[in-house]
Amino acid sequence: MRKRHIIFLFLFVGILVKAQNYQALIKNAGDSDTFPKSDVITIFDSTSVQMQSTGLSYYQMHQLTKILTYNGAKQHRIVKVGYDPLSAYVEIQKVVVYKANGDVKTIDNPVFDYAAPARAIYWGAKEKMIEVGKLEPGDAVEVVSFKKGYTYALLQAPAKDDKYIPPMRGHFYDIVPFWSNHPVLEKVYMLSTPDDKKLQYEVFYGELTSMIKFKDDMIQYIFVKKNIKPAERESNMVSKNNLNTKLLMSTSPDWYAKGKWFYTVNEDFDAFTPTDELQDFTDDLLKDAKNEIDSISVLTHWVADNMRYSGISMGEGEGYTLHNAEMNFRDRCGVCKDKASLLISMLRAAGFESYAAMTMAGERIDDVPADQFNHSVTVVKMHSGEWKLLDPTWVPGVRELWSSAEQQQGYLMGLPEGADLKYTPISPPENHYLRITGKSKLDKNGLLKGSFTVTAEGQSDAAVRGVFRYSVRTEWEKNLEKELLKLNPAAVLTKVTHTDNDKYQEAPVEITYHYEIPDFALVTKDEIIFTPALAQGVFKRAMSHLYINTHSETKEFAFRDRCSRLMEIHETISLPNYSEIISLPVADDVVSEAITYTGAYELNERELVFNQTASYGKRVYEATDWPAFRQAVLNQRHFEDQKIILKK
């Protein structure tokens, strides 16, 4: 059967190139003058997939890439094909180099199989690689490779004979990007399925040429796109997968079917049954809990803070299984799925109805029930019947139970009756306030004495608490002093008080500084020149909007910030004797549906008051939100930089 597939697939490739000589294709593809911003160009990229009734699929890939620059030559001197040996088998079947001078060289070097580079998750991903050798601009590399299996798996441990059948047995799903970071002259994807399999597909963010053919007992779906330009880039833009052409395919009938399967496969694996030891531990944790939300909070934060994030392989099926309660509680080490699993087990031990859910961090889930997931979380049913999302992976040291850095994000719950795709709502800015209030006195010699208090909640609270969270207690005061020194390196911290970070669940963070800054103002014969301390910006670690590039006046694409937030800064400054104000900065208000900003100085004889309020209403913004967002940021930077000038 496999031999028949390969013969058919090579015939398909022959049709793709229309029997043209490869050298002619390479010559006519263009060069660095044609594509001045690209290191390589893909002449053709074809993938043909044969799906079996079990869901097992065979992939044949064929690419021809022309080298345009020496940097491109360096990048392609080694051919690499990555894969997960637990779910896929790959072969590099042929590599041919077509030299610019007309020589043709078949690469017969050995194919090596190495562990792939990894960080935080060490599940045994590997790379097949073969050395091509020295390349030069004008050369081209042809690669033919084969794969059987699938690329996404979160769940069950497969039986040995069915190693490469996807967890949702009998089904096929794929996400095919028809975009690239370099030019592609032609990309073809062909899928052959048994004629009794009902496939749904949709093309997002662009157009493809498509056709369906019927042959014997198979249905062929063919998709083609020509002259693909390099994907454009903008700072802080949303994922390229949510902007550029892609094809989604799935034989799953709907999200309900996928959610029900997700529930069933976890229960069949018995991932969530609490052990006696875990039951006793949970009971002890909750002995002082006051109500249901208190119980949920205690358990969520315990898992978040006490289970290390580290994806170490724990045996056969790693990467597929939600480890069971015994393993998770014993090892207290795992990734998102394991943290979610332990929390479910503890919630069930506490009498709650709780299940796993899947989500996609960093990208939008488009409405085709393919596996558009990269993250696992927990859902719990409240007494009111409402389902509440919990994420023990993203809330260590965070007062939230579900991180609002994940707002406007799709998720699918694994419920007994299944579930539809849902999106997390926008979290109001006031849930993530940052308030800085200060009072200071500037003397005639330029010395500033004062104090200010920082309070924050939600994601802003988490950002402020970074001074504590990422260091031991003995380093806390030093880290607090560093925040003041960022304001002015001559600052002297005379006193600082703060909430106990080890009790972060009890109350929002509060930090109060008392300080002196000699020579804070520039004092000349006739003038006193300065920028108020809080106007310059303190604890910018909680103001991610200030780190977004505002060079461009417009944006073409949607963009994102860390989280919605409300920023409020208030400072009262006692001034030395002066005769008049020579310069007092001003800025226009910003008012839009998603962003508002006000900032101004008020002068009452020798007391100067600075007020600044900015509300950023979303995490993911449309391009049309950019002018207001940009102006609000520019206004804050304006007050950071502009000087107040007093005439003596």
- Residue 578 makes CB contacts below 8 A (sequence gap 6+) with 528, 606, 646, 647, 648
pLDDT computed for residue 169 by the predictor? 85
Give the pLDDT confidence of 137-184 residue by residue, as tens digits: 999 999 999 999 876 544 344 444 467 777 788 899 999 999 999 999
**How far apart, in whole angstroms, are the C-alpha atoms of residue 535 and residue 608?**
12
Angle at 556 (CA atoms; ends 203, 39), nearest 5 degrees: 75
CB atoms within 10 A of CB 556: 12
Angle at 242 (CA atoms; ends 236, 243), nearest 5 degrees: 80
Long-range Cβ contact pairs of 418-422 (< 8 A, separation 24 or more): 418/255, 418/256, 418/257, 418/258, 418/259, 418/260, 418/263, 419/255, 419/256, 419/259, 420/254, 420/255, 420/256, 420/259, 421/255, 421/365, 421/367, 421/369
CATH code of the domain made up of 2-251: 2.60.40.3140
* Alpha carbon 622 to its chain's center: 18
pLDDT computed for residue 321 by the predictor? 60
Beta strands in 443-578 (DSSP E): 448-456, 492-498, 509-517, 522-523, 527-530, 559-560, 565-574
Q: Are 8 and 1 in contact (CB under 8 A)?
A: no
**How far apart, in whole angstroms, are the C-alpha atoms of residue 446 and residue 141?**
68
* Regions of the chain where pLDDT drops below 50: 1-19, 153-161, 317
List 392's β-bridge partners, or say none: none
* Alpha carbon 80 to its chain's center: 25
State the fold for domain 430-647.
Jelly Rolls (2.60.120)
pLDDT computed for residue 645 by the predictor? 96
All structural domains of the chain with their residue ranges:
2-251, 257-425, 430-647
What is the biggest distance separating any 2 CA atoms in the chain, rounded to whole angstroms?
95
pLDDT computed for residue 155 by the predictor? 39
Give the pLDDT confidence of 348-400 residue by residue, as tens digits: 999 999 999 999 999 999 999 998 999 999 999 999 999 999 999 999 999 99
Q: What is the rounded (10 degree) CA torsion for 618, 621, 627, 628? A: -10
**How far apart, in whole angstroms, are the C-alpha atoms of residue 185 and residue 419?**
41
Beta strands in 546-594 (DSSP E): 559-560, 565-574, 580-583, 590-591
* Alpha carbon 13 to its chain's center: 36
Our separate counts of H helices and E strands in the chain read 13, 37
Q: Are 190 and 220 in contact (CB under 8 A)?
A: yes
Tokens encoding 603: 């002068």
Name the 3-class secondary structure at 590.
Answer: strand
Angle at 390 (CA atoms; ends 384, 391), nearest 5 degrees: 175
Q: What are phi and psi of 481, to 5 degrees?
A: -65, -35
- What letter does residue 541 receive in the DSSP assignment? G
Q: What are phi and psi of 252, to 5 degrees?
A: -65, 130
User: Which CATH class, in words, describes the domain spanning 257-425?
Assistant: alpha beta
User: Mean pLDDT across the chain, nearest whole number?
Assistant: 92
Amino acid symbol at 309: Y
Which of 202, 241, 244 has the alpha carbon at shortest distance from 365?
241
Give the pLDDT confidence of 313-329 residue by residue, as tens digits: 665 545 556 788 999 99
